[in-house]
């Protein structure tokens, strides 16, 4: 059955003059429904706005349709203010799942956050980080000397993970990509591909001398000692794409770019 979103669309803008103007024009035509009552959210901006919006709707089960006003727009559709209801009705859904992160800091506090792209650890000083990697309770790498390390979802594998020379994962693959950031030792280790049921723990070595921060998408915690990450299949979000431009197709096409 074709969905009818008439009168139930919420709009959100990145705040640039161009995005705000387009959002206001669309609100005049289609109205503007609060997130709590919307059947779909239309996000006008770039991939950063899309991530923020997906976090806002994560527990509400509301699909999000993006229109690109940013620079890359990997998670967005082409900009057009014509026939929005028809585009929404024909859009193809893709569901993605976040990583759940728990970070223990030096004060003993435990912080939790969700990441749709990746969880990253970074050195916080001029000193390189030293990190132990534990997968499902077994030490897999006793000491990685590096600028940092990240664990990426398939959806995030074409973002920072790709810039750090990590592998691109098919969007429906039940896999996670672990990728070091500027590794120094061991020199030849370039990361790992894990099943999505894995529980990964990163343990900071010499944490007082070599402080580390942990970041889940855009949420950062400093001076961490341990970071535990696993996929959370209970909190999926849905993106909508125009026919022929699905996230699956975009991820596949990215592998053949040169």
Top pLDDT among 251 and 94 is at 94
Q: Does 4 fall in a domain?
A: no
* pLDDT value at 83 more than 60: yes
Task: Please say whether the dihedral angle defined by the alpha carbons of residues 169, 175, 58 and 87, taken in this order, is positive or negative.
Answer: positive
Which residues face 179 on adjacent strands? 150
**What pLDDT, on the 0 to 100 scale, is given for residue 6?**
73
Is 47 one of the annotated active-site residues of the chain?
Answer: yes
Question: Six-digit token pair at 190?
Answer: 């370039």
pTM: 0.89
Q: Does 190 fall in a domain?
A: yes
Classify each residue of 96-108 as buried b or exposed e, where b means 16 or more C-beta atoms within 10 Å of its C-beta: bbbbbbbbbbeee
What separation in angstroms does the CA of 211 have from each of 130, 221, 226?
Answer: 9, 11, 12
Task: Check 32, 47, 105, 142 and give the catalytic one.
Answer: 47
Rounded-to-10 torsion of CA 82, 84, 85, 87: 100
Rounded to 5°, angle at Cα 70 from 66 and 76:
25
In whole angstroms, give the CA distance from residue 111 to residue 134: 19
pLDDT in tens, 158-217: 899 999 999 999 888 999 999 999 999 998 899 999 999 999 999 999 999 999 999 999
* 76 plus 29 within the same structural domain: yes
CB 221 within 8 A of CB 99: no
Top pLDDT among 34 and 121 is at 121
Phi, psi of 19 (to 5 degrees): -65, -40
Helix (H, G, I), strand (E, B) or coil at 161: helix
pLDDT in tens, 87-144: 999 999 999 999 999 999 999 999 999 999 999 999 999 999 999 999 999 999 999 9
**What pLDDT, on the 0 to 100 scale, is given for residue 12?**
95
In whole angstroms, give the CA distance from residue 241 to residue 96: 13
Helix-strand-coil percent breakdown of the chain, rounded to 5?
15, 40, 45
CA nearest neighbour of 240 among 77, 81, 97, 47: 77
Mean predicted lDDT score pLDDT of the chain: 92
Q: Does 73 fall in a domain?
A: yes
Domain limits at 135? 99-231
Helix (H, G, I), strand (E, B) or coil at 90: helix
In whole angstroms, give the CA distance from residue 128 to residue 185: 10
For the chain, report the end-to-end CA distance as a whole number of angstroms.
40
* pLDDT value at 71 more than 80: no
What is the CATH number for 73? 3.40.50.10330
CB 96 within 8 A of CB 116: yes
Domain count, the chain: 2
Top pLDDT among 176 and 243 is at 176
* 104 plus 173 within the same structural domain: yes
Q: Does 116 fall in a domain?
A: yes
**What pLDDT, on the 0 to 100 scale, is given for residue 1?**
53
* 81 plus 62 within the same structural domain: yes
- pLDDT above 70 covers what percent of the chain? 98
* 103 plus 165 within the same structural domain: yes
* pLDDT value at 2 more than 70: no
């Amino acid at each position: 059955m074709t969905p009818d979103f008439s009168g139930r669309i919420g709009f959100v803008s990145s705040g640039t003059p161009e995005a705000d103007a387009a959002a206001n024009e669309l609100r005049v035509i289609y109205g503007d429904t609060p997130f709590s009552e919307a059947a779909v959210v239309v996000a006008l901006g770039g991939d950063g706005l899309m991530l923020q919006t997906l976090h806002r709707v994560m527990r509400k089960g509301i699909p999000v349709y993006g229109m690109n006003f940013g620079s890359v727009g990997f998670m967005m559709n082409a900009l057009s203010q014509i026939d929005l209801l028809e585009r929404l009705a024909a859009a193809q859904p893709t569901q993605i799942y976040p990583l759940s992160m728990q970070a223990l800091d030096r004060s003993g506090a435990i912080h939790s956050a969700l990441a749709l792209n990746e969880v990253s650890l970074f050195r916080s000083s001029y000193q390189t980080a030293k990190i132990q990697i534990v997968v499902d309770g077994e030490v897999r790498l006793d000491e990685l000397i590096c600028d940092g390390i990240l664990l990426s979802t398939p959806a995030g594998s074409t973002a920072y993970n790709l810039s750090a020379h990590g592998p691109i994962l098919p969007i429906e693959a039940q896999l996670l990509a672990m990728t070091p950031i500027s590794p120094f030792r061991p020199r030849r280790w370039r990361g790992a591909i894990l099943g999505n049921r894995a529980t990964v723990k990163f343990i900071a070595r010499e944490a007082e001398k070599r402080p580390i921060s942990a970041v889940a998408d855009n949420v950062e915690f400093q001076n961490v000692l341990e970071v535990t990450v696993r996929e959370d299949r209970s909190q999926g979000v849905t993106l909508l794409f125009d026919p022929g431009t699905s996230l699956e197709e975009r991820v596949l096409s990215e592998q053949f770019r040169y």
